[in-house]
C-alpha cells in the first residue's frame, strides 16, 4: 500500500524502472548546439506520431504553450480562448507578459466552444481594437473534469479558422487521454491545430517535459524563443530518454486510469455534499462541487490528508486525478475516507 494516495495531479507520477534505466544509459550531447541524439530521437518520434513536420522538446507544458502563442502572434493582436482553459487561467498570464497580446475568453459546453460564437468574436483591426490571430483549444479539458472535446466541434472550429485565416494552437497536455477515451488517433487531433503541445510528464509518467509540434519554420522559430525563455538545456537527453519510454510504453495503460476514475466517481456521487455526474467523467480527472453543512473544502481536504488521501481544491470544487501511481487500494482507501467523513 502506498504511504499516501496522491490524487493531486497526474504530474505526481514517479518514473518507472525502465525510465530510470533509460536515463542512466542515455547517450547525450549538447542540445543547445543541436547534437543530443536522444533529444533528436524524441523530437523525431513526436513529429511522426503527431503527423507534423517537426517537434521541439520543452521543459514544461507552460513553456510550450507560451512559445506557441509567441510564435503565432504579434503585439496588438487577440487570442480566442475557452473561459476555463489552462492557458488562460493557470499559466500566469504569459499571453500578456511574454507575447503582449490579449486573450478573449468564450464560454463553452464542457470545453467545446460554439463555432458560431467564435466567428462572431473574430475582430478586424481598427484604431480601437486588436486583430484576432489565434484560437486555442484544449483536449482533454482539465478544468471541465477531463472532458473529451468532440471531434465534430474541433473540425467546425478548424473550418472557421481557415475561413478567417487564423491559426489554431492545440493544448494537448492530455491528448493521449483524449485519444484513449474516444478511439480517435492523436494524429487526427493534431491535424486540428497548426501546432500542438503534449505533456510527457502527466499521465505518461515521465519526470519532466513536454513537446511542441508543428511546421518546420514554426519549430525553428520556437527553438529560438525557447532559448530566450531559458529553456535551452544542455545534456538533456537524460530527461528526453524517459520521454521516449513514456511514448513507447505508457500510452496503452491510460485506459486503466480512466476505469479507476470512473469507479471512484460512481462511488463519490452518492455522498451528501458532493455534486458530481459520474457520466461526465470520461478520462482520469474528477472535479466535483463540495457544499457540506459542517465542512469547508480546506477542512475536508485536511481530514482526507489525515487518512493519507491527497487531493486539491480547484475552480468549481475539488479535483481528484487518477494516474499510474494510483492502484485499486488507493481507490478503496479514498472511498472509505469519504464514507468515514461524509456518510450520514
Q: Which residues bind ligand TLP (CB under 6 A)?
A: 9, 11, 60-62, 65, 86, 90, 138, 142, 171, 173, 199, 201, 210
Min CB(172)–ligand TLP separation in Å: 8
Min CB(254)–ligand TLP separation in Å: 15
Neighbours of 3 (CB within 10 A): 6
Which one, 315 or 340, has the nearer CB to ligand TLP?
A: 315
Which one, 9 or 132, has the nearer CB to ligand TLP?
A: 9
Min CB(210)–ligand TLP separation in Å: 5
Which one, 130 or 257, has the nearer CB to ligand TLP?
A: 257
- Distant-in-sequence contacts of 270-277, Cβ < 8 A, 24+ apart: 271/338, 271/339, 271/342, 271/343, 272/342, 272/344, 273/342, 274/342, 275/317
Min CB(225)–ligand TLP separation in Å: 16
Q: How far is C-alpha 113 from the geometric centre of its chain's CA atoms?
A: 17
Are 330 and 320 in contact by the 8 Å Cβ rule? The answer is: no
Joined together, the cell numbers standing for residue 339 give 464514507
Widest CA span of the chain, in angstroms?
Answer: 63
Cis preceding-peptide flag for 340 (omega within 30 of 0): no
Min CB(321)–ligand TLP separation in Å: 7
Grid look-up 489554431 returns: 168
Residues 6+ apart with CB under 8 A from 157: 113, 115, 118, 135, 137, 168, 192
Which one, 61 or 130, has the nearer CB to ligand TLP?
A: 61
**Rounded-to-integer distance, Cα 84 and Cα 77, Å:** 21
Which one, 122 or 173, has the nearer CB to ligand TLP?
A: 173
Min CB(146)–ligand TLP separation in Å: 9
Are 241 and 38 in contact by the 8 Å Cβ rule? The answer is: yes
- Residue least distant from ligand TLP (Cβ): 61
Min CB(221)–ligand TLP separation in Å: 20
Which one, 90 or 129, has the nearer CB to ligand TLP?
A: 90
User: Residue 91: CA atoms inside 13 Å, Cβ hemisphere, count?
Assistant: 23
**Rounded-to-integer distance, Cα 298 and Cα 230, Å:** 36
Are 122 and 166 in contact by the 8 Å Cβ rule? The answer is: yes
Joined together, the cell numbers standing for residue 220 give 525553428
Min CB(127)–ligand TLP separation in Å: 35
Which one, 136 or 161, has the nearer CB to ligand TLP?
A: 136
Which one, 11 or 336, has the nearer CB to ligand TLP?
A: 11
Amino acid at each position: 500500500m502506498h504511504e499516501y494516495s496522491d490524487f493531486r495531479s497526474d504530474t505526481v507520477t514517479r518514473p518507472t524502472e525502465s525510465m530510470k534505466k533509460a536515463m542512466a544509459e542515455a547517450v547525450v550531447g549538447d542540445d543547445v548546439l543541436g547534437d543530443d541524439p536522444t533529444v533528436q530521437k524524441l523530437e523525431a518520434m513526436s513529429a511522426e506520431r503527431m503527423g507534423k513536420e517537426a517537434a521541439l522538446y520543452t521543459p514544461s507544458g507552460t513553456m510550450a504553450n507560451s512559445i506557441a502563442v509567441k510564435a503565432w502572434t504579434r503585439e496588438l493582436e487577440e487570442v480566442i480562448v475557452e473561459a476555463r482553459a489552462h492557458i488562460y487561467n493557470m499559466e500566469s498570464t504569459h499571453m500578456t507578459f511574454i507575447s503582449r497580446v490579449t486573450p478573449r475568453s468564450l464560454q463553452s459546453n464542457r470545453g467545446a466552444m460554439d463555432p458560431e460564437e467564435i466567428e462572431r468574436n473574430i475582430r478586424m483591426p481598427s484604431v480601437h481594437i486588436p486583430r484576432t490571430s489565434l484560437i486555442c483549444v484544449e483536449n482533454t479539458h482539465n478544468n471541465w473534469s477531463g472532458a473529451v472535446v468532440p471531434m465534430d466541434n474541433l473540425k467546425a472550429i478548424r473550418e472557421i479558422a481557415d475561413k478567417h485565416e487564423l491559426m489554431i494552437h492545440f493544448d494537448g497536455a492530455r491528448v493521449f487521454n483524449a485519444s484513449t477515451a474516444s478511439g480517435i488517433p492523436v494524429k487526427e487531433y493534431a491535424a486540428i491545430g497548426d501546432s500542438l503541445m503534449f505533456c510527457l510528464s502527466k499521465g505518461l509518467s515521465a519526470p519532466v517535459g513536454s513537446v511542441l509540434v508543428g511546421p518546420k519554420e514554426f519549430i525553428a522559430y520556437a527553438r529560438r524563443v525557447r532559448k530566450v525563455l531559458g529553456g535551452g538545456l544542455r545534456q538533456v537527453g537524460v530527461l528526453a530518454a524517459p520521454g521516449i519510454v513514456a511514448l513507447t510504453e505508457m500510452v496503452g495503460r491510460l485506459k486503466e486510469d480512466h476505469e479507476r476514475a470512473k469507479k471512484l466517481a460512481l462511488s463519490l456521487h452518492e455522498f451528501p455534499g458532493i455534486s458530481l455526474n459520474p457520466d461526465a467523467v470520461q478520462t482520469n480527472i474528477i472535479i466535483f462541487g463540495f457544499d457540506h453543512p459542517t465542512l469547508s473544502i480546506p477542512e475536508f481536504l485536511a481530514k482526507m490528508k489525515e487518512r493519507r488521501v491527497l487531493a486539491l481544491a480547484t475552480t468549481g470544487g475539488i479535483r481528484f486525478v487518477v494516474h499510474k501511481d494510483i492502484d485499486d487500494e488507493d481507490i478503496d482507501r479514498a472511498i472509505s475516507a469519504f464514507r468515514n467523513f461524509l456518510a450520514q
